[in-house]
Chains A and B, each alone.
Chain A
Amino acid sequence: MRPRTVLRIARWETTKGVGGLDRGAVAVVLAAAAFVVAFGVVGLVGGVALEDGIYRVGVDEDSPFHDPVAVDDALAVVEPDPAVVDEGLRPGEGYDLYVESGPERTRLYLVRRDGEPTDKSLAALAAFRESVEAYNERRMRSEDNETAAFPVVVTVEFVERGTDGGADDGGGGPDSDGTGGGGGEGGGGDGQDDDGGLPSTGGGDGGGFGAPSIGAFDLFGTAGTSGSPSAIAPPFPFQSLVLAFLFVLPLNFVIQAYGSSMLSERLDRRGELLLVAPVTPAEIVAGKTLPYAATSLAIAATVVAGLWLIGAGAGPLSVLAVVPLSLLFLALTFLGAMFARSFKELTFVSVTVSTALTTYAFVPAIFTATSPVAFVSPLTVAVRDLTGAGVTPGQFLFATGPPTLVAGVCFLFGLGVYREEDLFTQRPVHLKALDALAGRIRRPRSLALVVALLVPFVFVAELVAVALLFALPVALSIPLVLATVAVIEELAKALPVYAGFVNGRYERTAGVGAAAGAAAGVGFFLAEKLSLLVQVVGLPDVAVADAAFQTGLGSNSLAAVAVLAVAPLLLHVATATVSALGASRDRTAFAASLSLATLLHLVYNLAVVSRLV
């Protein structure tokens, strides 16, 4: 690959490529993006009232409970009609909750269906409770006697564990000399000068006394808070949501432009011109991809710089964490553009890629606070970087390595079909996919390599399965994970073999089938040792993950570890041979033998896991 050639193609792509973006289009894109980001920030910080009036509360204007209901966004005041509650509140009357205030006591009516309160009515009650609490709080703030109104003053401080004393480096919070760890009894003059009016914030910058939301941009909760108990704000819990919004959303637009550009090369044989030029396909693809990769990197850097400016502890690590994600978006879109037969097909593929990858980035990151499973997603590295928690090199490798490998493999397979006979012909997607696999097969031995190339896919797919299923009860999640693993692994071994037979790389005889199957099994076994990476983040502590990857290290028996080193080799060779024998005949035989192989694999998994877990 010659850098100058790649750069020249990249320049063509940005300046005069088919349908490339002109200056006007870039201006429109920037304006729209700025508008959306502005609205997004306002929406996230100000809280767009999506739940505007979803619960209807019947409450009289004279009732003391009228005001709390009236100011709550989620609650809508409905004029009460005493007739409806004569025999209890029934559905369809136009109320979800009915407040009947008497001089002595207040009665609440829930909507009942068949004697049981409805879910909606219970949810309305919970919302009502919260709004009354908030209302009391606001009234208390206007009391003259502040000591009686706010008898409890709380100062919350975020301190580093293990650092002696309250020396917390610049994270805000009250100026503390004793709060953290000083030994003395009353040693805590914590900057809270009490006779000076409201029990408001200490000296720190993050004190939120007022709206129960955190100070404007402290999304990542690094500053301390103080005030009355209800005013101390928990750190914003949905960092991954914000990050998914900020980092992943722009990627969707980048891949849209990229996919269109790649696919339009294939219309009317436009790509022919480059193919006959003295450049290699790899140079063409690299050159055409470079501008889009650079754009996504620039966007990630801008987002991180923006977060840094508003005070989050973001750094280069966050940008590095997003790189594998953008490569994955680009790689899958490239593959999609190579396979798609029409623009519509490309749209379906890119919607799927967007949703699947957003899920992959977002769902594991939800568990950032609670489980090592979170490291399945590279986004977790960014979350931890932004919260100042940091990551070990091992964790970084674990989170970013597999997606980078998958992206590389996708580009490799896509390159396999970047040639005249595939670019300009209309073949169904699945045949193109087989072509891409077969493109790397030359002799039986190379099959081991192709299968090995698929292992990163298998690894990521299994990790995502673990992340999606680990929250279920173990009795349910382990069998489900084992079944998923069996299906994924058998497919990874059998599909290249099948591709080899379909594309006439092998003779259709049982002997060749057995040899190919054995090669596939060995290749898979060797590459699978990569899964030992799960050790790095201590994932085996999660029972489900141990079941999926069977490192055997969850148990203490040396024999078990030894058996687990050899048994998988036998298993993979055996099952791959079974499916390869089917593949050497025809499609029906292949489907049947693949099912049989999967079943064998599942039985083996169940047997091993029931021994160990």
Chain B
Amino acid sequence: MSRRAIARRELDSLSREKTIVLAILIQVVIAGFSSVLVADDVVAAAGEVENLRARRFEDRATARDAFDRGRVDAVVHAEARDGRVAVSASVPRSSLRKTVIVVQLRAALTELERAERADRADHLAFDPLPVPPRSDASPYFGFSYVLVVPLLVFLPVFISGAVVVDSLTEEIERGTIELLRVAPVSLAGIVEGKAGLLAALAPLQVLLWVVLLALNDIAVDNVALLVALTAAMAVLAVAAAAALALALPVRQRAQLTYSLGMLTAFAAAAALPEHPATTVALLAIGSATRVTLVHVAGYVVAAVLAAVALRRHVARISPERYG
């Protein structure tokens, strides 16, 4: 009962601080703008590929002249040498469009190579595999699932932990934890009430983003598993945050250690067979394998263990320490 009272008080103070709207708004912008940006990139990319126009010059000097005047973007010279076609291409060094230019040249020259190879097929031991047809798929289809969805899962998780650090260090630094303790609540009750509420908020936000993404024509698969994964991650994050805040009850240090720790943990997770971001992407795009499911189960187990460990740890802390 008392735990629920603490959670309700925490929710109350969160909703009074209207700045939480800012944090939520930022995530809405990520969810909304990502699709706009992606769409524009597609248009740009498609436009660029078909924009290669060839001009023939009599000799290299005139071609180079046109290049220097900026009339052509690249000069290509081809000659037969030792049974090969030797192509040399000059691309402007300082032009920042050089990436686009090189990509276009490469596409054209690959076609040339394919044709030349077919002519010499008799001399090859391996017959190149036929290349599947070009599809008009968006080259950024995977982007939404590989980057945007993981971002929208991990941002709420991160913020939840950060708020737990704030909430606990503030009670301790201001000395208001003393007041809470005269109420019939144990220190464990206070910590669990605060951490529990914020762990519950993260999956709720993810549910909201799934709906928003669906409105943006990005269908998210395995929603239930995704929410379970977020909940497990959030429990891990808030448990770590709570333990940290109790160990280092100064906001500056606790907060800095928390965010660096999260970053380190995220980088270190690369050592897992499947990075958490990949797990999220595979669930969201609907390509989850047994390995993915094992990872989700692992996180849930780890979350339960972390919650139990936190409870035991807090029970052993003497509340007098923060008096």
User: Interface of A with B (CB < 8 Å)?
Assistant: 18-21, 25, 28-29, 32-33, 35-36, 39-40, 43, 48-56, 64-65, 68, 74, 76, 96, 106, 108, 119-120, 122-123, 125-129, 132-133, 135-136, 139-140, 142-145, 147-162, 164, 166, 168, 171, 178-188, 190, 192, 194-195, 199, 221-222, 228-230, 232-237, 252-253, 256-257, 260-261, 263-264, 267-268, 340-349, 351-352, 355-356, 359, 363, 368-370, 384, 387-390, 428-429, 468, 471-472
Contact = CB atoms under 8 A, between A and B. Distances in A.
A182 B240 CA distance: 67
Contacts of A471: 36-37, 40, 44
B93 A160 contact: yes
A22 to B, nearest CB: 9
Given A257-B256, A429-B19, A50 B106 contact: no
A128 B131 CA distance: 9
Interface string B143-185: 0011100100000000100110111011001110000000000
A123 B141 contact: yes
A480 B27 CA distance: 22
A221 B99 contact: yes
A257 B141 CA distance: 38
Contact of B146 (A51, A159, A187, A256): A51
Given A253-B259, A369-B99, A132 B135 contact: no
B139 interface: yes
Given A150-B84, A222-B93, A129 B100 contact: no
A258 to B, nearest CB: 9
Given A129-B131, A232-B106, A370-B97, A188 B141 contact: no
Given A181-B60, A237-B99, A257 B174 contact: no
A157 B170 contact: no
Interface of B: 13-14, 17-20, 22-23, 25-26, 29-30, 33, 36-37, 40, 44, 59-61, 64, 67-68, 70, 77, 79, 81-100, 102-103, 105-106, 109-110, 112-113, 116-117, 119-121, 123-126, 128-139, 141-142, 145-147, 150, 159, 162-163, 165-167, 169-170, 173-175, 250-253, 255-257, 259-261, 263-264, 267-268, 270, 274-275, 277-278, 281-282, 285-287, 289
B146 A64 contact: no
Contact of A188 (B44, B79, B126, B278): B79
Given A19-B252, A185-B59, A370-B97, A53 B282 contact: yes
B89 A267 contact: no
A128 B138 CA distance: 14
A349 B36 CA distance: 26
Of B126, B136, B137, B162, most buried by chain A (CB within 10 Å of CB) is B137
Contacts of A164: 68
A390 B94 contact: yes
A344 B170 contact: yes
Given A154-B109, A156-B89, A352-B25, 4 more contacts: A54-B142, A65-B129, A143-B126, A260-B256
27 contacts: A21-B256, A25-B257, A39-B270, A52-B278, A65-B129, A76-B289, A126-B137, A129-B135, A140-B117, A143-B126, A151-B119, A152-B113, A179-B90, A194-B84, A230-B106, A230-B110, A230-B113, A237-B99, A257-B252, A268-B173, A344-B14, A344-B17, A344-B20, A347-B166, A351-B159, A355-B26, A389-B95
Contacts of A342: 13, 17, 166, 170
Contacts of A148: 117, 120-121, 123-124
A264 B131 contact: no
B112 to A, nearest CB: 6
B84 A156 contact: no
B255 A229 contact: no
Given A129-B131, A345-B19, A19 B251 contact: yes
Of A132, A156, A194, A252, most buried by chain B (CB within 10 Å of CB) is A156
A236 B44 CA distance: 17
Of B18, B29, B90, B167, most buried by chain A (CB within 10 Å of CB) is B90
B256 A54 contact: no
A122 B135 contact: yes
A35 B267 contact: yes
A140 B287 contact: no
Contacts of A35: 264, 267-268
B102 A229 contact: no
Given A123-B138, A161-B70, A344-B163, A48 B253 contact: no
Contacts of B166: 342-344, 346-347
Contacts of A253: 256, 259-260
Contact of B282 (A18, A54, A252, A363): A54
B120 A147 contact: yes
Question: By DSSP majority rule, is chain B's interface helix, strand, loop, or mixed?
Answer: helix
Contacts of B91: 156-159
Nearest to A125: B135
Contact of B174 (A54, A154, A256, A267): A267
Contacts of A388: 93-94
B138 A352 contact: no
Contacts of A145: 120, 123-124
B132 A129 contact: yes
A261 B253 CA distance: 10
A64 B287 CA distance: 24
A354 B105 CA distance: 39
A356 B64 contact: no
A256 B70 contact: no
B263 A179 contact: no
B264 A32 contact: yes
B129 A136 contact: yes
Contact of B125 (A144, A221, A256): A144
Nearest to B263: A36
Of B13, B82, B93, B289, most buried by chain A (CB within 10 Å of CB) is B93
A385 to B, nearest CB: 12
Contact of A54 (B81, B133, B146, B159): B146
A237 B44 CA distance: 14
A74 B141 CA distance: 12
A452 B61 CA distance: 56
Leading 8 A-B pairs by shortest Cβ distance: A122-B137, A260-B252, A343-B166, A229-B109, A151-B116, A123-B141, A158-B93, A39-B267
A249 B105 CA distance: 35
Given A54-B145, A230-B110, A388-B94, A147 B82 contact: yes
B93 A171 contact: yes
Contacts of B142: 51, 54, 74, 123, 127
Contact of B112 (A40, A56, A120, A152): A152
B167 A343 contact: yes
Contact of B19 (A29, A199, A349): A349
Given A344-B166, A389-B96, A126 B26 contact: no
Contacts of B260: 28-29, 32-33, 36, 253
A120 B143 CA distance: 12
Contacts of A384: 96
A32 B262 CA distance: 10
Contact of A267 (B26, B120, B173, B267): B173
B250 A19 contact: yes
Contacts of A428: 18
